[in-house]
Amino acid sequence: MLCTLRSVTAAALAALLVSPGAAGAAEMFHGKTVKVMIGYAAGGGYDTYGRFVARHIGKYLPGKPNVITQNMPGAGSIAVVNYIYNQGAKDGTEFAIFARSAPILALAGESKQTRFDPLKLTWVGTSSDYQGEAYMMMVRKDSGINTINDMRALKTDIRFAATSFGSDGTDVPIVLREVLGLKVVPLRGYPGGNSLYLAVDRGEAQGRMTGIASMKTAKPDWLKPDGHMRPILQFATRTRLPEFPDVPTAREIATKKEDLALIEMLEAPFYMARPFAAPPGLSAETTKVLRAGFMKAHKDPVAIKEAEKQRLELSPSDGAEVQKIIERLAEMPRELYKRYSDILRDPKSPVREVKWQTVDGKISKIAKKGRFEFQADGKTHKSRVSSGYTKLTVSGKAAKAKSLKEGMSCSVKFEGDGTDASEVTCK
């Protein structure tokens, strides 16, 4: 009896020592679903990091909520930032990953697309601060370009696959064309990372800009010495990386002080290379919990092993560090932003012409991440349902990729084997 009484007394004392706020924090996400929103279509680097965080953060949030992902591509990921800022849930159950260049576009103050203030977003953290990374300018070897000087000497611009204004793959080449005299023009209109790689592989474009980590996970053959791609410029790194000793950095090539200053401004967001942010107005407690869970997820032994297997570069920083980067960007001279805006005002960046084809067939295989195969005219075709890009209809009703089943008869509108489908209509 005495033992029981002591146990009850101890339990009661412990309960008294736990404040109501602490008790609430312990169950903050209990029974809830947390949504990690991704500003690009499936298949690219941002998508990979977004899904990685979604898989591991749940067990480090109070109440261990279910965590799901949702792709919301559009306007170079500006669409998802606008959503998070203006409509996102302010209880920590929605946050997003988007283009690291988005804050600069907003701070420049001349984009009609940006409807958010980077200083007011609740920064959760970044999966990478770009240690050992670089944003590489890659060209096809059959383009005849061996060095950056070869590109400068071209009589006509070569095309780089890109998504849209506001994305690094579009804006950085446009600025480098201006300040370094590079003969390159972004070909806009691709939905995301996978389609960009495919466009270059198929020869629709002669190159693109992409990070080393992204290539290691999505296109490792691009980094092989005997492959069909060649690196000619390193961006967002102060010095040449050891694995690319013969490839110059953008800082090396800049000869004017004002050009170097603009390059350094554009490179700053790369040190928050894979940024995650929640809506403004989150409570201090919720912000603290999200940031702590984010960092613990990146230090989880299982997550680290997975990252190594996927060749993901992890060098996380929490939201407080990202906030400091944003504050430094906000303090940069207005003339830099004016020049940046002036360059992008007349970008001379064409939109690709899409050659759609519609094929009727029967689904023969369902794979991961919306990929599927179907048989038509005695041939096997491959495509993918991409959230936010593909209009999928099953039996006359809007559906998701998981609704596809082997044996279904479908009409697939796509650009050819391996591309994301624009429309899939199944019976």
| Domain regions of the chain by residue span | 24-129+270-336, 135-267, 357-426
pTM of the model: 0.72
The number of beta carbons lying within 10 Å of the beta carbon of residue 350 is 13
* pLDDT level of residue 1 (50, 70, 90 thresholds): very low
Portion of the chain with pLDDT greater than 70, in percent: 94
Residue-level pLDDT at 167: 84
Residue 14 predicted with pLDDT over 80: no
Question: Could you report the per-residue pLDDT of 67-96, keeping only the tens digit for each?
Answer: 999 999 988 899 999 999 999 999 999 999
Pairing of strands 94-97, 33-38: parallel
Residue 253 predicted with pLDDT over 50: yes
The answer to whether 24-129+270-336 and 135-267 have equal CATH topology is: yes
Q: State the DSSP H helix or E strand holding residue 94, giving kind and residue range, or none if neither.
A: strand 94-97
Residue type present at position 369: K
Q: Which residue in the block uniquely carries the two structure tokens 């995301």?
A: 192
CATH code assigned to 357-426: 2.40.50.140
Look at the domain 135-267 and name its fold: D-Maltodextrin-Binding Protein; domain 2 (3.40.190)
Question: Alpha-carbon dihedral of residues 126, 316, 191, 250, nearest 10 degrees?
Answer: 90
Residue-level pLDDT at 346: 80
Edge to edge, what strands does the sheet with 423-426 contain?
A: 379-384, 371-376, 357-366, 409-414, 423-426, 391-394, 397-398
418 or 293, which is more confident?
Answer: 293
Q: How far apart are CA 65 and CA 99, in angstroms?
A: 26
Question: Could you report the per-residue pLDDT of 322-380, keeping only the tens digit for each?
Answer: 999 999 999 999 999 999 999 988 888 888 888 889 999 999 999 987 899 999 989 99
Q: Which residue in the block uniquely carries the two structure tokens 């070569």?
A: 158
* pLDDT level of residue 418 (50, 70, 90 thresholds): confident
For the ranges 166-175, 199-208, 281-290, the lowest mean pLDDT is seen at 166-175
CATH code assigned to 24-129+270-336: 3.40.190.150
Residue-level pLDDT at 4: 43
Q: How far apart are CA 230 and CA 189, in angstroms?
A: 24
Closest CA to 44 of 78, 80, 68, 73: 73
Residue-level pLDDT at 24: 56
* pLDDT level of residue 25 (50, 70, 90 thresholds): low
Residue 284 predicted with pLDDT over 80: yes
Section 400-422 average pLDDT: 92
List of residues 6+ apart from 332 with CB closer than 8 A: 265
